Chains A and B, each alone.
Chain A
Amino acid sequence: MEIDADAPHSMGTTIIGVTYNGGVVLGADSRTSTGVYVANRASDKITQLTDNVYVCRSGSAADSQIVSDYVRYFLHQHTIQLGQPATVKVAANLVRLLAYNNKNMLQTGLIVGGWDKYEGGKIYGIPLGGTIIEQPFAIGGSGSSYLYGFFDQAWKEGMTKDEAEQLVVKAVSLAIARDGASGGVVRTVIINSEGVTRNFYPGDKLPLWYEELEPQFSLLDIPSSPGPEPMNI
């Protein structure tokens, strides 16, 4: 198979943002691909905009990076002028402005999540066209197709911090199992009044799903396997 090393970097991706009773949990996979080659198997798709607002990036790696760089720059100036931390709503609306006004050129879907003292934990989804939509939870990226049904069933209002994080890890892990463009590790970022916590769930620590087997060091370590039988022709 020909590898097109000059194909644009795209983060196939699964990204998730979930509100809980007291804050938000953001989650993402870590695969960045150039065509079929995995350019980075441990990327960090959850990017900081301010101390209290982060964004999950999906779609074109370049587009999402430049948008978040601009928004971080504008928010920094806004924070100085305002004299206090920016609100999640302002951050999300800045992202929307860039996404909407450049809709013909950009190819990136973003989930903005954070905590501020006025509204508490909030999640804003900003899909391709530059629509801004406030939601109790948001999913995005190519892997999200496999999660609509899962969230319809598993999402509940008023979860605790640990329930919310477990839900996010389970969901990203399920998406990784079925989406070729998602993979690697699961990263989560929890934001609440106390601050920000980053967590890391390596690929081999994630739960196993249908048709997946326990990883072994070697065939030779499996006691009951006598080796392959000769073929009967």
Chain B
Amino acid sequence: MASDMGASYGSTLRYKSVERMKPIGKHSLLGASGEISDLQEILRYLDELILYDNMWDDGNSLGPKEVHSYLTRVMYNRRNKFNPLWNSLVLGGVKNGEKYLGTVSMIGVHFEDNHVATGFGNHLARPILRDEWKEDLSYEDGVKLLEKCMRVLLYRDRSAVNKIQIAKITEEGVSISKPYSLRTFWEFTAFRNPTVGAEGSW
């Protein structure tokens, strides 16, 4: 899962080092966009959920499917009270060798798929993924594909910030990379003199 580290306030890129992906329990990773205060509250709910799960001390632990289901209920019930948690959530994980990837929106719309995205990612990244994702992608190819998507988003999404993290979830657990920046390409000849031949245009 990849996410950038920006948190905007209207058109201002206010906070540029916000971790929007967090491990949940042993098997899952939550990625979120939208209102950060609501994300922080969701993390508190999940913390409590995982704590109670651990307190059973029964050898079982909540997997990504269960966490996704819990989040769906929370989001949908808040929507019904006309007081939504203003977030789009992506929940991924691996338990007992089974991979899981799902998403929940602020109104409770939820589904699983081989690739999901929030916000602009739905318009810019998913078409790329529809074309280039395949079953049994290696980790390295997965990273390159996500970086390709994040680069396009950096070019074309005003609220994007060039500081990203990529997270890897396997049976062994969750690891989130340290923040890093993507290289961008500006050396098209057309970029150097875009209005040659059409003065006044852009």
Query: Which residues of A are interface residues toward B (Cβ below 8 A)?
Result: 100, 103, 127, 129-133, 135, 145, 148
Contact = CB atoms under 8 A, between A and B. Distances in A.
Given A100-B41, A127-B9, A133 B35 contact: no
Interface of A is mostly: loop
Interface of B is mostly: mixed
B15 interface: yes
B35 A129 contact: yes
Contact of B37 (A100, A135, A145, A148): A100
A187 to B, nearest CB: 25
Nearest to A101: B41
A148 B12 contact: yes
A103 B12 contact: no
Contacts of B109: none
Interface residues of B, number: 12
Given A129-B36, A131-B35, A132-B37, 9 more contacts: A100-B40, A100-B41, A127-B9, A129-B37, A129-B38, A131-B7, A131-B40, A135-B15, A148-B12
A145 B13 CA distance: 11
B137 interface: no
A161 to B, nearest CB: 25
Contacts of B12: 145, 148
Nearest to B15: A133
Interface string B11-31: 010110010000000000000
Contact of B36 (A131, A145, A148): A131
B18 A133 contact: yes
B4 to A, nearest CB: 16
Contacts of A145: 12
A148 B14 CA distance: 9
